Every structure is written in C-alpha cells, then in structure tokens.
Amino acid sequence: MDTIQNLAFIFPGQGSQSVGMLAEAAAEYPQIVATFDEASSVLAQDLWELVCKGPADALGRTELTQPLMLTGGVALWRAWSSLSEARPSMLAGHSLGEFTALVAAESLEFDVALRVVAERARLMQAAVPADEGAMAAILGLDDETVEAICREVAEQQVVSAANYNSPGQVVIAGASEAVERAMHACQAAGARRAMKLPVSVPSHCALMAPAAKGLQALLSDVAIAAPRIPVVHNADLRTHDTVDGIRSALAAQLCAPVRWTATVRALRARGATAFAECGPGKVLSALGKRIDRDALWLALDTPAGMQGLLNLDLDGETAPS
C-alpha cells in the first residue's frame, strides 16, 4: 500500500446531506449503491431510495442523517480504494465524520459503525425535548467575541460555541431561548449574519451530557482496533492508538465543540498540504479554503473530483492530465 505523506482525507458530518446526493458518482462507481444496499440491510430501511427520492426533511432528521452520511463517506472511500492503492497518511472527520474516518482507518467495522451511529443519533435526540434546544450560525465575528457573548447572555441556561468551522464562522448551541438571545447580541455586536439552523438537536454543548454518557456505555462493548491510518479527533486534536482513547474521544465529542479550524491546522502541522473531502457535498472544502488558502482542497463526490485526486502527484501538486 502506497501512502501519500502530505495527503489528508476529511469526512463530513451532518449538514452536507441533500436529496439526490452522490447520483453522479453512483452512475460511475458501483461501490456507491452497493454500500448503501449493505447499510440498508443492517438498518432494515432502504437508504438509497431515501437519498434518491427524499423528502428533504426526512434526510434532515438526525436519526436518518447520521447513518446516511456515514454510508456516503464509506461508499466514496470504497470507490477511491477501487481506483488506487494510494492511501492518505492521515484522516479526520467533522463531528459524525470521525466515525467514517475510523471505518476508513479499519478501526471500526462498517456494520458496527452503522449501529453505533444510529444509536448515537437516538441518544442525542432523546437528550433534549423537541423545541427546547437550538443551533445557530454566527458569521463575521471572531471566536472570542462569540464566546464572550454566550457567557454574557446565558442567564443560567446553556449556550456556547459548538462548531469552530472557519475564521469568522462559529456555530452556537444550547437552550432555545439562550440561543435567541445570543443571536440578537451577536447581531448588535456587528455579526454579518446570525441564522438559526434547521436541526432538531443542540449538538456539541453541555445539554448533550446524557447522550455522551449513553454513548460511552455503548462504546464499552464495541470492538475497536488501533487505526491503520492516524485519525485526528475534534475534541482534543490528538490521534489515539488505544481503544480507551478512541472511546473517550468519541464520547467527549458530543459535549465538546467541534474544533474544525484547529483540526485542519493540526493536520497541516503533521505535514498535510492536500485535503480530499470524502463524502457528499463540498462543505468542508469550502470551509478549508477559508482556513488555509495555501493548501490544495479537493471534493470527491463526483467522478471529476476522483480524477483530480488521481492526477495528484506525491508532492501535492496537480499532475498533468
């Protein structure tokens, strides 16, 4: 197996799903539909039909989005693996995407990851009653300002930074009323935009403590191997070789913010100069260009994207086609 030392694969999480996603790739690579068929058998639900026909609000339900995004990322990883023996030297995933990264790293079996992710979604949904939690994207303020505003308006409720997605883009999460207060305060402080996200779960904040406890218990019985490719985790920006370390990082992630900007920079510090987004959509590639314009960013959700990676030389430059 060839390893491309300066290449990182990154796997997206919730928010990248859409009706019709991966249709172009599925027409070219049989691994796409085959992987969705495998997942459908495990979960007893036709996931590919859901992807193809929707409706969109069904794809956005946490208990469906998480298995769908895991499956989409694994499907593209398998398609890439059928085209080339070359492997990245490091992996990372945005929130849920860490499970996809661990499947790619042969730390988790796909069917096991599907069952864990489905239960993770159920635990997250059960942790906060409907309409009592919310998330909002804040654009145009620095991290410290958003953090300070959350502290100022909390009024003994939970509201905090949940995703540090890129410089000037922070997602906040917490109790619905506190999130509303923070949105108004951010706008008053000069935010370019403060918009509530169409999610049913306030992820990556203290309200997820019951889900984190449940996930920790679930993972204690899950077979996990040392990753064959290092995975940088969002919660602590570290790689873990031990089963206990991986379990702790995955559970901690539910209550801890997704430090995506710092994750990308950690991958850069490990030598990554090229990043391949392996999953539906191009959200992480777009964020990456805001984080580091000197790196090369590729999205693999189309045959053209796959070909672009095939044309990449070992120094991270695009080779002539």
Antiparallel, parallel or unpaired: β 296-299 and 87-93: unpaired
Q: What is d(CA 144, CA 150) in angstroms, rounded to the nearest whole number?
A: 10
Identified catalytic residue from 16, 40, 95, 285: 95
User: What's the rounded Cα separation, in Å, for the pair 171 and 299?
Assistant: 23
- Tell which residue, 135, 220, 144, has the closest CA to residue 189: 144
Helix (H, G, I), strand (E, B) or coil at 47: helix
**Is residue 197 within 8 Å of residue 135, measured between CB atoms?**
yes
Catalytic option among 16, 94, 107, 204: 204
For residues 191 and 186, what is the distance between their CA atoms, to the nearest angstrom?
Answer: 5
**Chain-centre distance for alpha carbon 48:** 20
95 labelled catalytic: yes
If you write DSSP's letter for every residue of 64-127 in order, what string do you get? HHHHHHHHHHHHHHHHHHHH-S-EEEEEEESTTHHHHHHHHTTSS-HHHHHHHHHHHHHHHHHH
Evaluate whether 153 touches 159 at the Cβ level (below 8 Å). yes
Q: Which amino acid is at 290?
A: R
Active site residue 94: no
Chain-centroid distance of CA 174 in Å reads 19
**Kind and range of the H or E run holding 180:** helix 176-188
The residue to which tokens 């801890």 are assigned: 256
Residue 277 pairs with which residues in a beta bridge?
A: 10, 299
Per the CB < 8 A criterion, the answer to whether 33 and 26 are in contact is yes
Q: Which residues are catalytic?
A: 95, 204
